[in-house]
């Protein structure tokens, strides 16, 4: 796939998505970047702002198979991955695939399930396979997990462990819409009109082709060095107990490549890295308890590092 073909396909996807998700172009671009670069997405926001609508819109516009799992305290791992059952007709055991075998999986309110159930997604997200009774079953391609959680409701929830958070390439928030955007949402009946007019413009095979092209986007030595300085600086921050892992470096690298393609370029600029840094790195930081008590979060720390660390070289401190 050429740059021109990639740019046209991405533009078509975003145009159709904007018929459903109004006034959130940046969020759509970054969410699409996560999908196209082979990552997974965590949507952390209050109820009713469009998290589920966003996931359904992806399925409609990309032509990908879409499934939704409502995570609850009584959900068990086999409810997600599937289980081995006995087929009386064949007189043999066979694997019955769970809802995880899809192109786009919406793990709704993922922090409402037990840690054991949450961890059952780990192999699927990282290895893109399910192991059962000594055999492995590969995920379809593309495979994109969108997890959602409510950041202000803690009763009856189980916070995602660091290992699980690190598997999500990005953490995004839709946020409340502006007044004029909310008025447009009302006029479109909460996005329902958009679902009636939006159409499929690509297919799963196109998503794979675009993803293959994105991995070839040029990242200069200077851009790669800038990524390393940012990530390594998170490990030196006095307010951070545990900084971003090498997986964070890779995620920022791939996200910047995807954003470059979305912008119609075959090379990464420092602005691509800056635009993606907070969404890719902030949820990976474990802050010192006293810092969190003062209202400082990972996003604010990344934004501060972006101001302090020069693009053209040099280390913080």
d(CA 51, CA 28): 11
Is the pLDDT at 314 greater than 60, yes or no? no
- Is the alpha carbon torsion for 290, 291, 295, 299 positive or negative? negative
Give the mean pLDDT of 63-85.
Answer: 93
89 plus 177 within the same structural domain: yes
- Is the alpha carbon torsion for 181, 186, 192, 195 positive or negative? negative
Peptide bond into 142 cis (omega under 30): yes
148 plus 291 within the same structural domain: no
**pLDDT-based confidence at 120, cuts 50/70/90?**
confident
d(CA 145, CA 39): 8
The whole-number pLDDT of residue 152 equals: 64
Q: Which of 142, 166, 201 is the last residue of a domain?
A: 201
Percent of the chain with pLDDT over 90: 66
**Which residues are 70's β-sheet partners?**
108
Q: In a 3-state reduction of DSSP, which class is residue 113?
A: coil
Model confidence over 210-268: pLDDT tens digits?
999 999 999 999 999 999 999 999 999 999 999 999 999 999 999 999 999 999 999 99
Confirm whether 210 is domain-assigned. no
C-alpha distances (whole Å) from 275 to each of 21, 27, 106, 188, 305 are 21, 11, 25, 30, 13
What's 190's domain CATH number? 3.40.50.300
126 plus 33 within the same structural domain: yes
221 plus 157 within the same structural domain: no
Confirm whether 225 is domain-assigned. yes
Give the mean pLDDT of 132-138.
Answer: 86
Measured N-to-C along each axis, helices 246-262 and 221-234 cross at an angle, to the nearest 10 degrees, of: 130
Confirm whether 212 is domain-assigned. no
194 plus 245 within the same structural domain: no
d(CA 226, CA 230): 6
Q: Which of 201, 233, 249 is the last residue of a domain?
A: 201
Confirm whether 266 is domain-assigned. yes
Model confidence over 159-180: pLDDT tens digits?
788 878 899 999 999 988 899 9
Model confidence over 14-26: pLDDT tens digits?
999 999 998 999 9
- Phi, psi for residue 235 in degrees, rounded to 5: -85, -15
5 plus 152 within the same structural domain: yes
Is the pLDDT at 85 greater than 90, yes or no? no
183 plus 227 within the same structural domain: no
Tell me what the pLDDT averaged over the chain comes to.
90
Is the pLDDT at 81 greater than 50, yes or no? yes
The whole-number pLDDT of residue 100 equals: 95
Is the separation of the CB atoms in 142 and 103 below 8 Å? Answer: yes
DSSP 223-263: HHHHHHHHHHHHTT-TTEEE---HHHHHHHHHHHHHHHHHT
Model confidence over 283-313: pLDDT tens digits?
999 998 888 778 788 999 999 999 999 998 6
182 plus 72 within the same structural domain: yes
Is the pLDDT at 317 greater than 80, yes or no? no
Strands in the chain per DSSP E: 41-44, 66-70, 82-87, 92-97, 104-108, 129-132, 135-138, 144-149, 170-172, 240-242, 286-287
**pLDDT-based confidence at 47, cuts 50/70/90?**
confident
∠ at Cα 50 (47, 52), nearest 5°? 90
b/e per residue 128-160 (b: at least 16 CB within 10 A): eebebeeeeeebeebbbbbbbbeeeeeeebbeb
110 plus 250 within the same structural domain: no
Percent of the chain with pLDDT over 70: 96
Is the separation of the CB atoms in 65 and 102 below 8 Å? Answer: yes
Model confidence over 180-203: pLDDT tens digits?
988 888 887 766 778 889 999 999
248 plus 139 within the same structural domain: no
Q: Which two tokens stand for residue 118?
A: 């949450």
233 plus 194 within the same structural domain: no
The whole-number pLDDT of residue 1 equals: 78
What's 233's domain CATH number? 1.10.8.80
Is the pLDDT at 316 greater than 50, yes or no? no
Confirm whether 114 is domain-assigned. yes
**Which residues are 146's β-sheet partners?**
41, 106
62 plus 90 within the same structural domain: yes
**What's the domain count of the chain?**
2
Confirm whether 206 is domain-assigned. no
Q: Which of 152, 177, 201 is the last residue of a domain?
A: 201
Give the mean pLDDT of 78-102.
Answer: 88
Q: Which two tokens stand for residue 39?
A: 């990552």
The whole-number pLDDT of residue 153 equals: 61
- Structural domain including 248 reads 217-317
Confirm whether 94 is domain-assigned. yes
C-alpha distances (whole Å) from 165 to each of 46, 89, 91, 126, 197 are 18, 43, 42, 12, 35
Confirm whether 207 is domain-assigned. no
- Phi, psi for residue 137 in degrees, rounded to 5: -125, 115
Tally Cβ neighbours within 10 Å of residue 112: 20
Model confidence over 222-236: pLDDT tens digits?
999 999 999 999 999
């Amino acid at each position: 796939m050429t740059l021109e073909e990639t740019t046209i396909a991405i533009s078509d996807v975003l145009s159709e998505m904007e018929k459903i998700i109004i006034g959130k172009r940046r969020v759509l671009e970054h969410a699409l970047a996560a999908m196209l670069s082979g990552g997974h997405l965590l949507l952390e926001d209050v109820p009713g702002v469009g998290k589920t609508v966003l996931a359904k819109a992806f399925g409609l516009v990309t032509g990908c198979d879409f499934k939704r799992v409502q995570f609850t305290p009584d959900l068990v791992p086999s409810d997600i991955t599937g289980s081995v059952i006995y087929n009386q007709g064949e007189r043999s055991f066979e694997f019955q695939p769970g809802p995880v075998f899809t192109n786009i999986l919406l793990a709704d309110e993922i922090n409402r399930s037990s840690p054991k159930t949450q961890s059952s997604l780990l192999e699927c997200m990282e290895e893109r396979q399910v192991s059962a009774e000594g055999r492995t079953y590969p995920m379809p391609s593309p495979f994109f997990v969108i997890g959602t959680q409510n950041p202000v409701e803690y009763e009856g929830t189980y916070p995602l462990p660091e290992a699980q958070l690190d598997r999500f390439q990005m953490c995004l928030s839709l946020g409340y819409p502006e007044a004029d955007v909310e008025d447009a949402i009302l006029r479109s009946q909460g996005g329902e009109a958009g679902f009636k007019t939006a159409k499929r413009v690509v297919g799963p095979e196109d998503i794979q082709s675009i993803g293959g092209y994105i991995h070839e986007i040029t990242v200069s030595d200077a851009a790669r060095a800038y990524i390393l300085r940012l990530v390594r600086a998170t490990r030196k921050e006095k307010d951070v107990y545990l900084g971003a892992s090498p997986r964070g470096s890779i995620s920022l690298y791939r996200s910047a490549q995807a954003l470059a393609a979305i912008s119609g370029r075959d090379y990464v600029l420092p602005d691509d890295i800056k635009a993606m840094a907070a969404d890719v790195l902030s949820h990976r930081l474990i802050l010192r308890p006293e810092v969190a008590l003062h209202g400082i979060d990972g996003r604010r720390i990344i934004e501060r590092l972006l101001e302090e660390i020069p693009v053209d070289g040099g280390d913080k401190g």
